[in-house]
Structure 1
Amino acid sequence: MGISQEDRKMEGWLYLIRSNRLGLQFSRKRYFVLEENSLNCYKNIPTSREQDPIRSALIDSCIRVTDNGRESINRSVFFIFTLYNASNHNDQLKLGARSPEEAAGWIRSLMEAALKECPIKGENVVACSKRRWQSFRLSRSKGRSRMHSIDWTAFSSVHTDPMTSDVIAPSPWTIFGCKNGLRLFKESKDGDFGGKPWDDHPAIMAVGVVDATSEAIFQTVMSLGPSRSEWDFCFSQGRVVEHLDGHTDIIHKKLNGEWLPWGMRRRDLLLRRYWRREDDGTYVILYHSVFHQRCQPERGYVRACLKSGGYVISPVNQGKQSVVKHMLAIDWKFWKSYLFTSSAKYITIRMLARVAALRELFRAKLGNCPASDFSSGELTRERLQKIVKEDIKEEVQSVGETSMSLDSTEEPQKYLMRTSTGGSFIQLNDPADEFFDFPDESDYEEHETMRPSSEEQRQPKLSAAAGFVKRLHDLAVQKRGYVDLQEASLLDSASCSYGATLRKDPSCSVGCSWTTSDPSTFLIRSETYLQNQHKIKANGTLMKMVGADWLKSDKREDDLAGRPGGIVQKYAAQGGNEFFFIVNIQVPGSTTYSLALYYMMDTPMENVPLLRSFVEGDDAFRNSRFKLIPYISTGSWIVKQSVGKKACLVGQALEINYFRGKNYLELGVDIGSSTVARGVVSLVLGYLTNLVIEMAFLVQGNTEEELPEFLLGTCRLNHLDAAKAVSIPPW
């Protein structure tokens, strides 16, 4: 994979992910070239620019890219992403890369290519939903299309900002010691910085520097195979109990007893694991304990409860090294109360020493050569990728040994898979080609023990949203404050006054209420941002927050502002010049929850050109500009890490349905349209009653005329409760 600086194109090997008529997935290795906004597919590396591709597709402003995460297909691990047409979700292309870095590079380049086709404000354009677009599926090429030259630096909306946070907030951690080269931190609560005694289950974090790329460390930490015993001295055995989606699974870890205090029985952990990659190359891995019917407590083990924990792996020194943060808050389930505080703290700190073991592992495998000895990060990455491949290969060998006990009827199929040759790309629908494909040599080097059960392989795969909700419904998380939204009881409501169902409380002392956040908490682009990437504190908001709704229904509820009896229609009936901006965040499930935030301004739209362009523009322009800055000001570490504090272009990650009325614009943000977003929101919902959530909304400025940016509005949501959501009556 690489990006050519001369003609600004990206190319490399990817895998086409297909499903046969039985719902079983298979892969095809193909060489892809993304040049300007044309995606071309070849069987082999093209020998000249004049060579015609076997398939090609146009990347335009209607194209969306979804990160599907990590998935095992025929015992090979891929990092999947899907391209689809926003006007026709059935028109899609599923691709897989061998590493998360490759997948992230392709996702970024494809998003940039799509943004090149975004309409510029002031042009006479038509929304993509009303245009007749060429089918996005790769079509046969009858000749290489020549595109006009495009300025790849014109759009900065998908370029990574140098700042890691767009929120000014105090650190909740205070250092209390240093051991084995690791700094140790304790989580401070309610502004306490060491004055109070330790909690029974303290949240402790270890921070260290590892001489390896963040990708290599991520692959090592995610592995549950025998190679984990090379650095994880707590680990005995591990397996994947259930694969929920590409970013979430349920894992079971058995801990050995050699490192535990004398007389303490062995522990095990049943965890829900979630991961994601940030734009700057940082990997976040989060864990918390769950209950699962397929993994009951075993004799000889005491099941500990991980309240929250995980890793944050951030690249430094041009990617040659990484800062690893490892946090744990565990209830070790002691039966003697006097052992609580002292032993829990001691054992947790001992377990955090795995960061030092991880550091020494990479030092040993790099031959004790410091990272500064390498002229670039490429050599380091190549050697570390080789290390990871060897680890995965060891895991495959253990899988092969266990698979020998399978039914003998599977042997002919295995033999055919190894001996038959792959068909052409044109014959993908041929039955023989669906089942049997000759694997590449690298295919056997990157297998993993994360194999789906034979029962799962035979079942046609559910849609991502339906499958996620079904699996989430079967889980009950063992932690205080967890709320299962799928089983929350429905409350009848005779009427619904839209814009007033959630209580306002400026004092922030009442649960399930809202108020506004301090605008100076959030950072926005300054007037000189295009020259120096400098951001400044926001000093106010353009609009005033006038109401909020916390609703539930058996279906998705759109266009709340257009319904009679609400605050928007009341102002419209009075004939005033007020304009409303509504953000309706929709959480899907057997019960769909909607959080609607209402903002109002009485300034003429002509006085705010950027907002006018946004309101009157088409969906493609809106999706490329609408930005959200999230912030969890009160809550668990695991939720704060999951949500983050970085601004994001919502329309590039989620489906947004726009509803334009006489005096309003409503944005329906569908959380269910993204695997990553569903994982984050499901985690947040589990801690919902313990959280204070703050958000800021703005339209991104990309030109000198549009800078400095300004906030449309802010909000602060205090301890929302699913049981207090208002049912929407039929209308």
Structure 2
Amino acid sequence: MGSREGGGEEEKGGKVEGWLYLFRYKRFGLHYPRKRYFVLDRHRNALDCFRDVPDDEVQVPVRSANIDSCIRVNDNGRENIMGNVFFLFTLHNTSNDRKLKLGTRSSEEAAKWINTLMEAKFKECAMEEPNVAIFSKRRCTSLRLCRSSLAHSADWNFFSSSQRDRIISDVIEPSPWTIFGCDNGLRLFKEGRKGNLYSKHHDNNSPIMAVGVVGASPEAIFHEVISLGPSRSEWDCCFDQATIIEHLDGHTDIIHVKFRIDWLPRGMKPRDVLIRRFWRREEDGTYVILFHSVYHQKCQPYKGCKRAYFKGGGYVITPINQGKESVVKHMLAIDWKLWVPRLFTSAREHITIRMLERVAALREMFRAQQGQYPGADVRFSLREEAGLDLQLPVQKGIQEHTEGSWKSDAGAVGMNGSFLEANDTDDEFFDFLDESEYEQQEDMWTSYSPSQARWSPAAALMKRLHGLAVQTRSCIGETSLSDDAPSCSYGSTLLKDSSFSLASTWASADPSTFLIRGITYLRDRKKIAASGTLMELVAADWLKSDKREDDLSGRSGGIVQKHVAQFSNEFFFVVNFQIPGSTTYSLALYYMMNMPVENIPLLKRFVRGDDAYRNSRFKLIPHVAEGSWIVKQSVGKKACLIGRALEVKYFHGTNYLEVDIDIGSSTVAKGVTSLVLGCLTNLVIEMAFLIQGNSDEELPEFLLGTCRLNHLDPSKAVSFRSH
């Protein structure tokens, strides 16, 4: 490989390469980035790190790490570090709990690195027999930090969205939206009532959506929409200023927005809104930004300004024309808190529609910038863009909340919920040496332990206090559960109701609602409606505890072990969703079949295979049958490989295989779950489970089972004492 003046490139030999930022700890728990050149050799499944662009193929990297089934890739989202915006991801070696944090300045590059690393991880699974354990025992060496001044990035033509399958819905359902007008080149839609799509009678604040085509890439539009700084004044006519009240994680934050007084109708009092904003990127390059009103102790309504209520809203930015243009959907459901609302229906809708016209303003802004905008190679500096970034004291832009300011070390350590939080072990990685120590010591990565991290005295005190609080809470929780909670009969805590009329019940969903790979999928990429399920849903649990509850199927007294005691031949497949928090909820679904596993080759390989093989095949198709637009968009309707994004544990017994899914292992999943739990009693959720077919012999696919959860109530989850 010769020296490159432009971006990195995808080599014919199967190497993906480019510049990444490597993050390490500094004093007071702060991070700082170092730019390094990385090469992913897909033949060796190794990630090599160089100080500079390697001159030839035989140059030895300063450090190298094996990418195998032990590696998990976590998307850490968008963060501000040292006044610049980075998109971060973490490599986590689950065999020794060592972690490495990397990042880019572009969301697209971060997403493509994540996808490429995941593909490299599962490559070894496809090459090995599924019943052979493939967990690597090779020793991984660490990546050394060193200076570099080159500034080109990876070329991702091989992994461009045009080369990948378009992400479409895997669920068949009619659209709830009906068009009612067209304004400024935008189509305007209203959400019809259930059972009458074309009803003209909507509630006082029914959702309205504007749809238009913008001549820019989804990434460029995403960065404009998510930015809250002065650049927003070029297209957002209603925006006055914004303040980040709390940065929860790389995908979620709490924002206070004030609207321009001159934009509001004459005689209308000033308005503001406090929203929780969440974003994610889909595999096809679609960006989803969602927000809804919340309450926060640090930002209460104040005199002289009325607080509007956002029932839901957001953007869906989908690439078209090979990513050169984008379809932008902007939805809002707002209660403007007008006096005598029924008398001002037309005025309320008029204000909302004017707000939706921001899509047209975006279109015209990019049209004016055509030929000048940097396109896919987007670089954002906090000092230049003043976007969602944490230190600009400007009047007509974003202002960072004083308690989260980057201007002081104390503020940085104490930022609530950010990756700088002292007790956030997810953001630790391999123990790197200081620059001055390189000549004295050359060592491998070591497993992380709290004693090896360099904490400031204040951070160390916070960590000890946190540990004491967790220990105290754990003791209190164990006492309360063991004293008050009855022993649980697993498989009987959630009732069945096939009529769909009772709350907190389950039933089987219609299999024909879900699309699966057909027998010719590898040639024409066509999917077909499922005709049935292999297994029957026979029981469900809705439980709560003070800790994660694993292997429910193996516990005595449950439906699975009762069949074991009766020497029955039935086989159970159990899916256990674990939702962590102050209270850990468990949703367990019990599927049963009467035929032997050996009769179904793909299922046999899945049941008897190792965890890496299972993670590369187990798929979930979600569907929110009843719920608000914001929840439906956050959950989606596309099949996903659960093991690629979440931590999954498998428990194999005599007559069962249980899949325990930790929802809290992903920041994206945690953001979605937080939104769903807040309105769970208003939702009807359907799911389908299947094993992905990757060859003609494994097609067409078949559903293992489906479920329909009707208006689950967290307060009705059953507490039980630990067995």
Q: Which residue of 2 aligns with 1:576?
A: 568
Residues 210 and 358 of structure 1 are in contact (CA less than 8 Å); yes or no, is this contact kept in structure 2? yes
Residues 77 and 250 of structure 2 are in contact (CA less than 8 Å); yes or no, is this contact kept in structure 1? yes
Q: 2:23 aligns with which of 6, 17, 21?
A: 17
**SS at the partner of 1:118?**
helix
Q: Which residue of 2 aligns with 1:619?
A: 611
Query: Given residue 242 of structure 1, which amino acid in structure 2 is its aligned partner?
Result: E
Q: 2:666 aligns with which of 674, 682, 691?
A: 674
2: CA distance between counterparts of 1:312 and 1:301?
A: 30
Q: Which residue of 2 aligns with 1:114?
A: 121
Q: 1:135 to 1:500 in 2, by over 3 A?
A: same
Query: Given residue 76 of structure 1, which amino acid in structure 2 is its aligned partner?
Result: N
The within-5 A match list for 1:239-318 is 239-318=243-322
**SS at the partner of 1:117?**
helix
Identity of aligned residues (%): 60
The farther-off stretch of 104-113 and 193-202 is 193-202
Q: Does 1:77 align with 2:85?
A: yes
Report the alpha carbon displacement of residue 705 of structure 1 after superposing the two structures with TM: 1.0
Report the alpha carbon displacement of residue 429 of structure 1 after superposing the two structures with TM: 2.4
Q: 1:95 aligns with which of 92, 102, 127?
A: 102
Q: Which residue of 2 aligns with 1:4?
A: 10
Query: Given residue 652 of structure 2, which amino acid in structure 1 is its aligned partner?
Result: R
2: CA distance between counterparts of 1:624 and 1:547?
A: 27
2: CA distance between counterparts of 1:703 and 1:26?
A: 45
Residues 289 and 307 of structure 1 are in contact (CA less than 8 Å); yes or no, is this contact kept in structure 2? yes
Query: Given residue 278 of structure 2, which amino acid in structure 1 is its aligned partner?
Result: Y
Query: Given residue 351 of structure 1, which amino acid in structure 2 is its aligned partner?
Result: M
Q: 1:460 to 1:248 in 2, by over 3 A?
A: farther
1: CA distance between counterparts of 2:387 and 2:537?
A: 56
Report the alpha carbon displacement of residue 385 of structure 1 after superposing the two structures with TM: 5.8
Q: Which residue of 1 aligns with 2:385?
A: 391
Q: 1:543 aligns with which of 535, 553, 557?
A: 535
Residues 55 and 140 of structure 1 are in contact (CA less than 8 Å); yes or no, is this contact kept in structure 2? no
2: CA distance between counterparts of 1:568 and 1:695?
A: 22
Residues 84 and 93 of structure 1 are in contact (CA less than 8 Å); yes or no, is this contact kept in structure 2? yes
Q: 1:381 aligns with which of 373, 376, 382?
A: 376
2: CA distance between counterparts of 1:231 and 1:29?
A: 34
Q: Which residue of 1 aligns with 2:653?
A: 661
Q: 1:645 to 1:433 in 2, by over 3 A?
A: farther
**SS at the partner of 1:243?**
strand
Residues 518 and 526 of structure 2 are in contact (CA less than 8 Å); yes or no, is this contact kept in structure 1? yes
**SS at the partner of 2:268?**
coil
Q: Structure 2 stretches of 5 or more lacking a match?
A: 1-6, 147-157, 410-429, 439-455, 474-479
Q: Does 1:605 align with 2:597?
A: yes
Q: 1:43 aligns with which of 31, 48, 51?
A: 51
**SS at the partner of 1:657?**
strand
Deviations 1:533-570 (A, max 9, x none): 11111100000110000000011111111111111111
2: CA distance between counterparts of 1:213 and 1:395?
A: 22
Query: Given residue 48 of structure 1, which amino acid in structure 2 is its aligned partner?
Result: D
The farther-off stretch of 184-193 and 628-637 is 184-193
Q: 1:644 aligns with which of 611, 636, 661?
A: 636
2: CA distance between counterparts of 1:407 and 1:647?
A: 40
TM-score (norm. length: structure 1): 0.83
Give aligned pairs, total: 648
Report the alpha carbon displacement of residue 163 of structure 1 after superposing the two structures with TM: 4.2
Q: Which residue of 2 aligns with 1:222?
A: 226
TM-score (norm. length: structure 2): 0.84
2: CA distance between counterparts of 1:409 and 1:307?
A: 36
Report the alpha carbon displacement of residue 573 of structure 1 after superposing the two structures with TM: 1.0
Residues 199 and 341 of structure 1 are in contact (CA less than 8 Å); yes or no, is this contact kept in structure 2? no
Structure 1 segments (4+ residues) deviating >3 Å: 119-124, 135-141, 337-340, 378-382, 384-403, 405-410, 431-434, 456-463, 488-493
Residues 83 and 383 of structure 2 are in contact (CA less than 8 Å); yes or no, is this contact kept in structure 1? no
Q: Which residue of 2 aligns with 1:528?
A: 520
2: CA distance between counterparts of 1:536 and 1:673?
A: 32
Q: Structure 1 stretches of 5 or more lacking a match?
A: 142-152, 370-377, 411-425, 435-455, 474-487
2: CA distance between counterparts of 1:462 and 1:709?
A: 51
Deviations 1:632-654 (A, max 9, x none): 01001000000000000001111
Q: Does 1:34 align with 2:34?
A: no
Q: 1:631 aligns with which of 618, 623, 627?
A: 623
Residues 519 and 714 of structure 1 are in contact (CA less than 8 Å); yes or no, is this contact kept in structure 2? yes
Q: 1:333 to 1:539 in 2, by over 3 A?
A: same
The within-5 A match list for 1:334-373 is 334-366=338-370
Report the alpha carbon displacement of residue 71 of structure 1 after superposing the two structures with TM: 0.6
Query: Given residue 560 of structure 1, which amino acid in structure 2 is its aligned partner?
Result: L
